[in-house]
Structure 1
Amino acid sequence: MASISSTNMDPDVARRLFEEGATLVLLGVPRGTELGIDCKSWQVGPLFRGVKMIPPGLHFLNYSPVNSPSCGGEIGPKRGLFINLKPREILLANWDPKEEDLDFSASKNDEEVNRIRETLQELDPYLGPYPYEVMRKWVSLTDRLSEELAFNLQPLSGRVCAFSDVIPEVQLRHTKDRAEQPRNDTACQSMKEGLDRLPKMKQREGTELRFSVIPKQTYPPGATPAEITQCSMDLSYALETVLEKNHSQQPLNLLGELQFAFVCFLIGNVYEGFEHWKCLLALMCRAEEAMRKHKELYLGLIAVLYHQLGEIPPDFFVDIVSQNNFLTTTLQDFFQLATGPGIDGTLRKRAEKFKTHLTKKFRWDFDADLEDCAPVVVELPEGVTVD
Structure 2
Amino acid sequence: MASSSVDMDPDVARKLFVEGATLVLLGVPQGTELGIDCKSWHVGPKFRGVKMIPPGLHFLHYSSVNSPSCGTEIGPKTGLFLTLKPREILLANWDAKEEDLDFSASKNEEEVSKIRANLQELDPHLGPYPYDVMRKWVSLTDRLNEEVATKLQPLSGRICAFSDVIPELQLTHTKDRAEQPRNDTACQSMREGLDRLPKMKQREGTELRFSVIPKKTYPPGASPAEITLCSMDHSYALDMVLEKYYQTQPLNLLGELQFAFVCFLIGNVYEGFEHWKTLLALLCRSEDAMRKHKDLYLGLIAVLYHQLGEIPPDFFVDIVSQNNFLTSTLQDFFQFSSGPGVDSTLRKRAEKFKAHLTKKFRWDFDADLDDCAPVVVELPEGFIVN
Instruction: Report the Cα distance in structure 1 between the residues aligned to 2:197 and 2:369, rounded to whole angstroms.
Output: 44
Alpha carbons of 1:371 and 1:317: their partners in 2 closer, same or farther (altered >3 Å)? closer
Residue 158 of structure 1 aligns to a residue whose secondary structure is coil
Show the counterpart of 2:245.
246
Show the counterpart of 1:177.
176
Equivalent pair of 1:318/1:326 in contact (CA under 8 Å): no
- What residue identity is the alignment partner of 1:253? N
Show the counterpart of 1:44.
43
Instruction: Report the Cα distance in structure 2 between the residues aligned to 1:68 and 1:49, rounded to whole angstroms.
Output: 19
List per-residue Cα deviations over 1:3-36 (Å, max 9, x = no partner). Answer: 2225323445423312200000000000000000
Structure 1 residue 175: deviation in Å? 1.9
Instruction: Report the Cα distance in structure 2 between the residues aligned to 1:322 and 1:247, rounded to whole angstroms.
Output: 30
Instruction: Report the Cα distance in structure 1 between the residues aligned to 2:344 and 2:321, rounded to whole angstroms.
Output: 36
Instruction: Report the Cα distance in structure 2 between the residues aligned to 1:115 and 1:95, rounded to whole angstroms.
Output: 18
Show the counterpart of 1:120.
119
Structure 1 residue 324: deviation in Å? 4.0
Structure 1 residue 192: deviation in Å? 1.9
Which piece of structure 1 moves more, 99-108 or 180-189?
A: 180-189
Show the counterpart of 2:335.
336
Instruction: Report the Cα distance in structure 1 between the residues aligned to 2:364 and 2:206, rounded to whole angstroms.
Output: 40
| Aligned CA-pair RMSD | 1.6
- 2:126 matches 1:135: no
List per-residue Cα deviations over 1:125-170 (Å, max 9, x = no partner). Answer: 0001001111100000000000111011000000000000000000
Within 5 Å, give how 1:98-117 maps onto structure 2. Answer: 98-117=97-116
Structure 1 residue 371: deviation in Å? 10
- What residue identity is the alignment partner of 2:355? T
Structure 1 residue 179: deviation in Å? 1.8
Instruction: Report the Cα distance in structure 2 between the residues aligned to 1:114 and 1:148, rounded to whole angstroms.
Output: 28
List per-residue Cα deviations over 1:364-387 (Å, max 9, x = no partner). Answer: 110113699xxxxxxxxxxxxxxx
Structure 1 residue 186: deviation in Å? 1.4
- What residue identity is the alignment partner of 1:57? G
Instruction: Report the Cα distance in structure 2 between the residues aligned to 1:323 and 1:300, rounded to whole angstroms.
Output: 26
Instruction: Report the Cα distance in structure 1 between the residues aligned to 2:29 and 2:369, rounded to whole angstroms.
Output: 55
Instruction: Report the Cα distance in structure 2 between the residues aligned to 1:371 and 1:340, rounded to whole angstroms.
Output: 23
Show the counterpart of 1:91.
90
Show the counterpart of 2:212.
213
Show the counterpart of 2:164.
165
Which piece of structure 1 moves more, 233-242 or 13-22?
A: 13-22
Instruction: Report the Cα distance in structure 1 between the residues aligned to 2:34 and 2:70, rounded to whole angstroms.
Output: 20
Instruction: Report the Cα distance in structure 2 between the residues aligned to 1:18 and 1:356, rounded to whole angstroms.
Output: 43
Instruction: Report the Cα distance in structure 2 between the residues aligned to 1:334 and 1:158, rounded to whole angstroms.
Output: 35
Equivalent pair of 2:153/2:208 in contact (CA under 8 Å): yes
Equivalent pair of 1:24/1:91 in contact (CA under 8 Å): yes
Equivalent pair of 2:4/2:132 in contact (CA under 8 Å): no
List per-residue Cα deviations over 1:183-203 (Å, max 9, x = no partner). Answer: 122101222211110000000
Runs (4 or more) in structure 1 with deviation over 2 Å come to 5-16, 313-325, 369-372
Identity over the aligned pairs, expressed in percent? 85
Normalised TM-score (structure 1): 0.93
Equivalent pair of 2:6/2:131 in contact (CA under 8 Å): no
Which piece of structure 1 moves more, 8-17 or 355-364?
A: 8-17
Where in structure 1 are there 5+ consecutive unaligned residues?
A: 373-387
Which piece of structure 1 moves more, 306-315 or 35-44?
A: 306-315
Residue 316 of structure 1 aligns to a residue whose secondary structure is helix
Structure 1 residue 353: deviation in Å? 0.5
- What residue identity is the alignment partner of 1:76? G
Alpha carbons of 1:300 and 1:102: their partners in 2 closer, same or farther (altered >3 Å)? same
Instruction: Report the Cα distance in structure 1 between the residues aligned to 2:139 and 2:181, rounded to whole angstroms.
Output: 55
- What residue identity is the alignment partner of 1:114? S
Residue 47 of structure 2 aligns to a residue whose secondary structure is coil
Show the counterpart of 1:381.
none
Alpha carbons of 1:279 and 1:320: their partners in 2 closer, same or farther (altered >3 Å)? closer
- What residue identity is the alignment partner of 1:244? E
Equivalent pair of 2:334/2:350 in contact (CA under 8 Å): yes
Alpha carbons of 1:320 and 1:144: their partners in 2 closer, same or farther (altered >3 Å)? closer
Show the counterpart of 2:262.
263
Show the counterpart of 2:64.
65
Show the counterpart of 2:302.
303
Instruction: Report the Cα distance in structure 2 between the residues aligned to 1:160 and 1:192, rounded to whole angstroms.
Output: 32
Equivalent pair of 1:154/1:210 in contact (CA under 8 Å): yes
Instruction: Report the Cα distance in structure 1 between the residues aligned to 2:286 and 2:343, rounded to whole angstroms.
Output: 15
Instruction: Report the Cα distance in structure 2 between the residues aligned to 1:85 and 1:322, rounded to whole angstroms.
Output: 37
Instruction: Report the Cα distance in structure 2 between the residues aligned to 1:259 and 1:11, rounded to whole angstroms.
Output: 34
Instruction: Report the Cα distance in structure 2 between the residues aligned to 1:102 and 1:187, rounded to whole angstroms.
Output: 44
- What residue identity is the alignment partner of 1:301? L
Alpha carbons of 1:126 and 1:370: their partners in 2 closer, same or farther (altered >3 Å)? closer
Alpha carbons of 1:46 and 1:371: their partners in 2 closer, same or farther (altered >3 Å)? closer
Show the counterpart of 1:148.
147
Where in structure 2 are there 5+ consecutive unaligned residues?
A: 372-386
Alpha carbons of 1:110 and 1:323: their partners in 2 closer, same or farther (altered >3 Å)? closer
Within 5 Å, give how 1:11-26 maps onto structure 2. Answer: 11-26=10-25
Equivalent pair of 1:9/1:132 in contact (CA under 8 Å): no
